[in-house]
Amino acid sequence: MSVGDILFWIVGLMTALCAVMVVVTQHIVRCAIWLLFTLAGTAGLFFLLGLDFLGATQLFVYVGGTLVLVIFGVMLTATGPFLQLRAGAGEWAIAIIVGLLLYGLIALSWLFADWSKLPESALPDDPRQMYHTEQLGRALLGDTSVQPASELAGVPGSLGAADKASGKLQEPPKRQASAFLLPFEIVSVHLLVVLIGAAYLARAKRKRVVVAPRESL
Amino acid sequence: MISPEQLVRVLRRDLLAFGPEVIIVLGIILILMVRMFRGSERVPFGGLAAVVLGLSLVVSWWQWVTDQTLEPTSSGLSETRYLFSYMLAYDAFTVYLRLFLTSFGLFMVALCLLSGVPDPDDSADFYVLLLGATLGMMLMASAAHLLMVYIAVEMASLPSYALAGFLKQRRDSSEAALKYVVYGGGASGLMLYGISMLAGKVGTGFLPDVAASVAATFGSQQFDAVTLISVLLLLAGIGFKLAAVPFHFWCPDVFAGASAEVAGFLSVASKGAAVALLGRVLVALLGGMRLEGHELAPPWWAQVSWYLGPALVFLSALTMTFGNLAAYAQTNLKRLLAYSTIAHAGYMMMGLCALTREGVEASLFYLAVYFFMNLGAFAVVAFLRNLVGSEDLSDYSGLVYRAPWLTVTMAIFLLSLVGIPPLAGYMAKFQIFAAVYHAWQAQQQTGLLVLLALGVLNTVLSLFYYVNVLKVMVLHEPKEIPASKPVSGLALVYTGFLSLVLVVGIFFWDPLASGSNKAVSSFYEISPRLTVSPR
């Protein structure tokens, strides 16, 4: 067993353990935190397999975005009966049956797939040939030579030769790769501001010492 | 392959030009950080926000004065630089709007500090939202890519929703916020729909590219419904931010429900950014943001103006007439001012209707004057609310005896909104009317002449309801109202300063005009004069 294999097993087992804890934990905030570790562990697995881009996306979208939203949602709305989750025996039974069925389906589809028929190009020998976070960073910064190139360009290409007399475009416009650093960064600022606004609107007004007599509404 | 050093160099250059926005972003984070520490309840967040906006204003001013690329050359054109790989445009237009928005933000913070609307507990949240909305509006003014147009509009809108509902204990404030969210969500959905269709059709989101493709579509023989509808949807989304009829439904309710300070912010800053965005999109669509190698035959661009011109004239005429007529029936001062701002959105659109560079220039000029008169009117409403405890017009009868100074300044603001000659509002209207008149001379479109006539008629019409407010305040019998805290001296200085600007503004006609002239120098002259009939 190589070091990579050992790491894979460690990270995989931790991820699986955290996933079990998500189900078993009864306190909803702890549940969300266990989910955080599960999703981060999945990202770790992607990184170990050399899939930088996928791992980074997993971190951005699930760990960074969705989960923060979930935790905030839970913390803002968790009051009274919803804080503790207790499942009855019947619910456990149904959950286990459905879970096992899903597991069986995924396992079957994995076992019966013919892995030898994958095209060569899809899995290059050297994982560094695939999309990388470095390329992702370069693309965000505006290096137009890197993949993945997108058709929706930020960089103007040639408009294509237009025939002025007839008014018809003779060849379609050519566009180059895009660079979306600014939208990416500015949206995070936007989400921060919106989160503050949402938190303000959701929380109860702090109690202040009322001097004047309260008017009845 | 571009080397990392090159990328870093380009990024650094772009970030320098992006400085004012970066300062506001840092300010937002700073306010957030400060709150983590003990004793942060005593931190004056209003002052902090003012410092952030002030720094941003200073940097914008520095760019405006020292940046040689923004100065028009002998050909009357100044440079446009595209930042962050063609996402934003950095040109004189952008910097002009940045100056407008940051200085308005400063006045806004001052107003909030004087009228005490966010109480100290909530002030941190309030100013973060205010800074966030200002940031979005600054991006609206500089967006050069459809993606940025959408993001900027959302960035300006979402904090505004929260600001509208900021007075949580008041029912109508929450109602206003909800209405704003629902209408706003619908409008931005429509706009996103239009943007995605347009970007999908054209294959890019970069505005000059989009414009060239749209012109090529309109200019060629085929009629293309997708392009037409998506452009209209895009304009509808901007029209919502502008509160132009028929996308104005939210405006009176939101203004009536939100505090007067927030209503003032929405009516000036939000509308200013929307005018800027509409101006830039229109100029781009008419070929004013050409790049090298984008030489299309002029009739193609003229064809676009043939489609857009009448629609704009119609909307502008409808907006100002409706706003002025609906204002008559109002008894709540904030609702009345809300309809008045709708009418003023119509006047500003009127400048854009000319479809010339001069028209855009006139709209920018109008914005600069509108800043002072509308903010002033809402500031007086805010101070009067603190004094009288009501925003109904009937409760303000005989106010001149209780608050003579506020009544006098209110008179100046309202008369300036009408456009009575010695006041600054007059020169703003004059610029607009002159631009439309010149456009009519050049293009000989009857629609423009009708629009001009309607504009003058509306100005006269609006006189009556503005003067009615003054009549109630001055001539009616004073009401018995329980005594309350008098208005602070600083508040009087504040309104006094705003009204002074309007009174002496006429002496600064030339510098202001040359400022707005410089702002549009980054655009090519657009020439819809080549009127061609549709084939």
Q: In angstroms, how far apart are the furthest CA atoms of chain B?
A: 79
Highest average pLDDT, of A195-204, B285-294, B374-383, comes from B374-383
Q: Report in angstroms the alpha-carbon separations of A149 from B9, B108, B403.
A: 22, 44, 65
Beta-bridged to residue A163, according to DSSP, are A168
Contact B165 A143 (CB under 8 A): no
Q: Report d(CA B80, CA B70) in Å as an integer.
A: 8
Q: Report d(CA B265, CA B272) in Å as an integer.
A: 10
**Number of domains observed in the structure of chain B:** 1
DSSP string over B450-482: HHHHHHHHHHHHHHHHHHHHHHHHHHSPPP---
Q: Give A93 to chain B, closest Cα distance, Å.
A: 42
| Closest listed residue to residue A152, CA positions, set B191, B304, B146 | B146
pLDDT of residue B515: 92
Which pair of structure tokens corresponds to residue B523?
Answer: 């655009």
Residues of A in contact with B147 (CB under 8 A): 154, 180, 183
Is A50 a residue whose pLDDT tops 60?
yes
Q: What are the pLDDT digits (tens) for B239-273? A: 999 998 888 889 999 999 999 999 999 999 999 99
Torsion of CA B230, B236, B239, B244, to 10 degrees: 140
| Closest listed residue to residue B117, CA positions, set B43, B42, B158, B167 | B167
Confidence of residue A118 (pLDDT cuts 50, 70, 90): low
Confidence of residue B529 (pLDDT cuts 50, 70, 90): low
Helix (H, G, I), strand (E, B) or coil at A203: coil
| Closest listed residue to residue B377, CA positions, set B165, B49, B96, B111 | B111
The pTM score is 0.82
Q: Report d(CA B40, CA A105) in Å as an integer.
A: 55
Residues of B in contact with A189 (CB under 8 A): 25, 28, 132, 135
- Check residues A183 and B278 and name the one with the higher pLDDT: B278
Q: Report d(CA B26, CA B21) in Å as an integer.
A: 9
Is B122 a residue whose pLDDT tops 80?
yes
Q: At B35, which amino acid appears?
A: R
Is B461 a residue whose pLDDT tops 50?
yes
Contact A192 B212 (CB under 8 A): no
| Closest listed residue to residue B272, CA positions, set B509, B98, B89 | B98
- Check residues B518 and A69 and name the one with the higher pLDDT: B518
Which pair of structure tokens corresponds to residue B403?
Answer: 């608050």
| Closest listed residue to residue B27, CA positions, set A137, A131, A193, A44 | A193
Contact A181 B208 (CB under 8 A): no
Q: Give B47 to chain A, closest Cα distance, Å.
A: 19
pLDDT of residue A111: 85
Q: Give B409 to chain A, closest Cα distance, Å.
A: 32
Q: Does domain A3-108 have CATH number 1.20.120.1200?
A: yes
Contact A159 B25 (CB under 8 A): no
* A200 closest CB neighbour out of B145, B162, B293: B162
Q: Report d(CA B242, CA B345) in Å as an integer.
A: 6
Q: Report in angstroms the alpha-carbon separations of B521 from B75, B92, B357, B442.
A: 10, 7, 8, 20
pLDDT of residue A80: 60
Strands A162-163 and A168-169, by their bridges, are antiparallel
Q: Report d(CA B346, CA A198) in Å as an integer.
A: 33
DSSP string over B126-183: HHHHHHHHHHHHHHHHHB-BHHHHHHHHHHHHHHHHHHHT--TT-HHHHHHHHHHHHH
In SS3 terms, A85-140 reads as CCCCHHHHHHHHHHHHHHHHHHHHHHHHCCHHHCCHHHCCCCHHHCCCHHHHHHHH
Q: What are the pLDDT digits (tens) for B488-518? A: 889 999 999 999 999 998 899 899 999 999 9
CB pairs under 8 A between A and B: 159
Q: What are the pLDDT digits (tens) for A92-106? A: 899 899 999 999 998
| Closest listed residue to residue B249, CA positions, set B322, B195, B168 | B322
Q: Give A186 to chain B, closest Cα distance, Å.
A: 9
Which pair of structure tokens corresponds to residue B113?
Answer: 């500090």
**Helices within chain A (DSSP H only):** 3-24, 28-48, 52-58, 67-77, 89-112, 133-141, 181-202
pLDDT of residue B417: 93
Which pair of structure tokens corresponds to residue A193?
Answer: 């501001």
Q: Report in angstroms the alpha-carbon separations of B61 from B97, B272, B517.
A: 11, 18, 16
Is B376 a residue whose pLDDT tops 90?
yes
Is B534 a residue whose pLDDT tops 50?
no
Q: Report d(CA A15, CA A29) in Å as an integer.
A: 18
Least confident of A165-174, B27-36, B65-74, B194-203: A165-174
Question: Where are the domain boundaries for CATH 1.20.120.1200 in chain A?
Answer: 3-108
In SS3 terms, B242-289 reads as HCCCCCCCHHHHHHHHCCHHHHHHHHHHHHHHHHHHHHHHHHHHCCCC
Residues of A in contact with B188 (CB under 8 A): none
Contacts with B, A 175-214, CB within 8 Å: 175, 178-183, 186-187, 189-190, 192-194, 196-201, 205-206, 208
- Check residues A203 and B261 and name the one with the higher pLDDT: B261
**Helices within B476-508 (DSSP H only):** 489-504
Element (H, E) at B88: strand B88-90
Q: What are the pLDDT digits (tens) for B18-72? A: 999 999 999 999 999 998 888 888 888 999 999 999 999 999 999 999 988 888 8
ipTM: 0.87
| Closest listed residue to residue B151, CA positions, set B99, B205, B204, B102 | B205
Q: At B64, which amino acid appears?
A: W
B117 in any annotated domain:
yes
Which pair of structure tokens corresponds to residue A60?
Answer: 């951005």
B535 in any annotated domain:
no
B355: left (phi over 0), alpha (psi -120 to 50) or beta: left
Q: Report d(CA B203, CA A149) in Å as an integer.
A: 13
**Residue of A196, A207, A211, A215 to mutate when probing chain B, most B C-beta within 10 A:** A196
B140 in any annotated domain:
yes
Residue B89: φ, ψ to 5°: -105, 130
Question: Mean pLDDT, to the nearest integer, of B188-210?
Answer: 86
Which pair of structure tokens corresponds to residue B386?
Answer: 């603190």
| Cis ω for the linkage preceding B72 (within 30 of 0) | no
| Cis ω for the linkage preceding A148 (within 30 of 0) | yes
Handedness of CA B90, B96, B100, B103 (dihedral sign): positive
Is A158 a residue whose pLDDT tops 60?
no
B526 in any annotated domain:
no
Is A149 a residue whose pLDDT tops 50?
no
Task: Tell me which residue has tokens 């959905």.
Answer: B189
Is B129 a residue whose pLDDT tops 50?
yes
CB of A168 within 8 Å of a chain B CB? The answer is yes
Q: Report d(CA A11, CA A42) in Å as an integer.
A: 8
Residues of A in contact with B219 (CB under 8 A): 167
* A143 closest CB neighbour out of B2, B165, B297: B2
Confidence of residue B12 (pLDDT cuts 50, 70, 90): confident
Average pLDDT score over chain B: 88
B361 in any annotated domain:
yes
Task: Tell me which residue has tokens 């080549």.
Answer: B530
B350 in any annotated domain:
yes
Residue range of the domain that includes B321: 4-519
Is B453 a residue whose pLDDT tops 70?
yes
